[in-house]
Amino acid sequence: MASKAAARGKSHALQLRRWIYNFMNSGALPTHRYGSFTTSALGDEDFAQAIHLHLLEISGRGEYIRALDVVKFVSSEEMQHYLGGKVTISERTARRWLNEMEWRYGKILKGMYIDGHERADVVQYRIAFLERWLEYERRMQIFDRDGKVVRDPKLTVKPGEVEQRLVLYTHDESTFYANDRRKTKWSHKDEPCKPQPKGEGESLMVADFLSPEFGRLKHGEEAAREARVLFRAGTRRDGWFDGDNIIEQAELAMDVFEQRHPFCQMLAMYDNATTHLRRPPDGLTAYKMVLNPKREWFPKKAGVRMRDGTLPGDVRQPLYFPDDHETMPGWFKGMRQILKERGKWRPKMLAECEKFKCEEGKINCCARRTLFNEPDFAAQRSHLEEVFAARGHICDFYPKFHCELNFIEQYWGDAKRMYRMTEATTGTSEMEQNVLHCLDSVSSERILRFANRSARFMDAYRKGLTGPQAAWANRKYHGHRVLPEKIMQELEKM
Ligand SMILES: [Zn+2]
């Protein structure tokens, strides 16, 4: 027990155990009070998601979300029960919350929030994503909410030819705080974690992979090897959990996966955040590229050259002059030379249109835009996708703003509710033990339930529902893995 590890009293351990037992059996949420409710509540993934989904649902009726919508929702019976009653927030707090949620929710315009969830480019991505997902699911084992296998993939394509089973592991990071055990604010996932001001207490970031049926990605007795990484954000500590850490964790995850699931292929799902979408240091990109030849030009890290381009017919195009070049040995060629070699250079071509705001639909107006649209440049994948592909696995990204599709969010939410029940700790290791224990207390039944909830959302989108409709349907058909076929007709009647 966490409380044992933390050297807590017996009664506390008993209370915690009783509570967890109750929670697992009834799924009922214990009511709790936040120490400083208005600043801490958004750190709870479940609470934040409840608001997000509610806003999504009501945004279907109008176009915008207002601060007052949040105030009303918090005072609703359902939320009052969840929050332990008699909690009200001001419009000012609601506005602050909306600002903090912007990265998941959408753009702010004159005090009103527009649903980013249904933005044209996001919807387009979602459609393509769901098509890929359908193909993934074909090779996945699917479980119902009782853990019974409802579909086993037929992996024999032709005699003697067997496809690999695909095993889903979803990734995410979450931060726990020592003092009040909370996140102070939702930060954009794109930003590095900011150091916490004094008084917040220590923070511990957990990055992990979770599977619907296998739980955490680990292998061996007592999780001898595991993909989970703990990270103490702050200057005196481990630094930031950045691009390199993310790649390192991905390699570790594949090591563990290959031990645990030999002969299977891993599907690693990540949030659509820029830190996850970064190109490899040598990746092809026209961004920041110089027009003229330049000595010692590197795209990202000093000393790391951009890889060769690939021309039709699989012909390689080095982007640097050879080392025995007479005047520019080993120099970077620059966009002009690169395009000349591709037969795409036009006299008087600009390096880029003003502020790179090219005329819409133009693909070869300036050098940068032209290179940008070259097939090899356009096909450059993220570093994560490359490292997974290099070992025969798959990495994919959820659509932006669709936190409801990443079921690990609810796992964090569950663990945090438990964590809040534990007593405050004084030392770093005590806190760590506490956090880990709470994470491990989330049962596999709960995890499967979370995964099925996300599957239900995917099903809703696949059936053509919009975000607001999906939020409604998910509430109505709570407990089902797929929605009724006639859901669209039902919606039309509303
Ligand atoms: Zn241009």
Per residue in 10-50, pLDDT tens? 444 444 444 444 444 444 433 343 333 444 455 567 777 77
CA of 201 to the centre of ligand 1 (A): 50
Question: Which pLDDT does position 326 carry in this prediction?
Answer: 94
Do 275 and 146 share a structural domain?
yes
The set of residues, in sequence order, having a beta carbon less than 8 Å from that of 265 and lying 6+ positions away, is: 139, 164, 165, 166, 167, 392, 393, 394
CA of 357 to the centre of ligand 1 (A): 7
Average pLDDT, the chain: 80
Question: Which pLDDT does position 103 carry in this prediction?
Answer: 54
Question: Which pLDDT does position 328 carry in this prediction?
Answer: 96
Do 270 and 357 share a structural domain?
no
Mean pLDDT of 343-360: 92
Q: Give the pLDDT band (50/70/90) at residue 127.
A: very high
CA of 358 to the centre of ligand 1 (A): 4
Do 360 and 243 share a structural domain?
no
Do 223 and 295 share a structural domain?
no
Q: Closest Cα partner for 213 from 448, 414, 442, 446?
A: 448
Do 394 and 267 share a structural domain?
yes
Question: Which pLDDT does position 25 carry in this prediction?
Answer: 41
Do 332 and 259 share a structural domain?
no
Asked if the structure places residue 289 within a domain, the reply is yes
Boundary residue ending a domain (347, 380, 413): 380
3-state secondary structure the chain: CHHHHCCCCHHHHHHHHHHHHHHHHHCCCCCCCCCCHHHHHHHCHHHHHHHHHHHHHHHCCCCEECHHHHHHHHCCHHHHHHHCCCCCCCHHHHHHHHHHCHHHHCCEECCEEECHHHCHHHHHHHHHHHHHHHHHHCCCCEECCCCCEEECCCCEEECCEECCCEEEEEEEEEEEECCCCCCCCCCCCCCCCCCCCCCCCCEEEEEEEEECCCEECEECHHHCEECCEEECCECCCCECCCHHHHHHHHHHHHHHHHHHCCCCEEEEEECCCHHHHCCCCCCCCCCCCCCCCECCCCCCCCCCCCCCEEECCCEEECCECCCCCCCCCCCECHHHHHHHHCCCCCCCCCCCCHHHCCCCCCCCCCHHHHHHCCHHHHCCCCHHHHHHHHCCCEEEECCCCCHHHCCHHHHHHHHHHHHHHCCCCCCHHHHHHHHHHHHHCCCHHHHHHHHHHHHHHHHHHHCCCCHHHHHHHHHHCCCCCCCCCCHHHHHHHC
Q: Report the share of the chain in percent with pLDDT over 90.
A: 38
Q: Give the pLDDT band (50/70/90) at residue 85.
A: low
CA of 371 to the centre of ligand 1 (A): 10
Give residue-wise pLDDT tens across range 270-287. Answer: 999 888 999 999 999 999
CA of 369 to the centre of ligand 1 (A): 5
CA of 366 to the centre of ligand 1 (A): 4
Do 143 and 227 share a structural domain?
yes
CA of 364 to the centre of ligand 1 (A): 7
CA of 288 to the centre of ligand 1 (A): 14
Asked if the structure places residue 492 within a domain, the reply is no
Asked if the structure places residue 456 within a domain, the reply is no
Give residue-wise pLDDT tens across range 384-397. Answer: 999 999 999 999 99
Q: How many domains does the chain have?
A: 2
CA of 362 to the centre of ligand 1 (A): 7
CA of 292 to the centre of ligand 1 (A): 17
pLDDT at 371 over 80: yes
Do 293 and 366 share a structural domain?
yes
Asked if the structure places residue 462 within a domain, the reply is no
Give residue-wise pLDDT tens across range 204-250. Answer: 889 999 999 899 999 987 667 999 999 876 544 555 677 788 999 99
CA of 285 to the centre of ligand 1 (A): 15
Asked if the structure places residue 376 within a domain, the reply is yes
Do 357 and 311 share a structural domain?
yes
Question: Which pLDDT does position 41 carry in this prediction?
Answer: 56
CA of 347 to the centre of ligand 1 (A): 14
Do 144 and 251 share a structural domain?
yes
Asked if the structure places residue 114 within a domain, the reply is no
CA of 279 to the centre of ligand 1 (A): 22
Q: Report the share of the chain in percent with pLDDT over 70.
A: 77
CA angle 253-47-437, nearest 5°?
A: 45
Do 343 and 250 share a structural domain?
no
The token pair that represents 80 in the structure block: 């009052």
If one compares 72 and 478, the residue with the highest pLDDT of the two is 72
Do 297 and 346 share a structural domain?
yes
Asked if the structure places residue 325 within a domain, the reply is yes
Asked if the structure places residue 331 within a domain, the reply is yes
CA of 375 to the centre of ligand 1 (A): 17
If one compares 155 and 419, the residue with the highest pLDDT of the two is 419
Instruction: Provide the residue range defining the domain that includes 218.
Output: 124-279+390-404
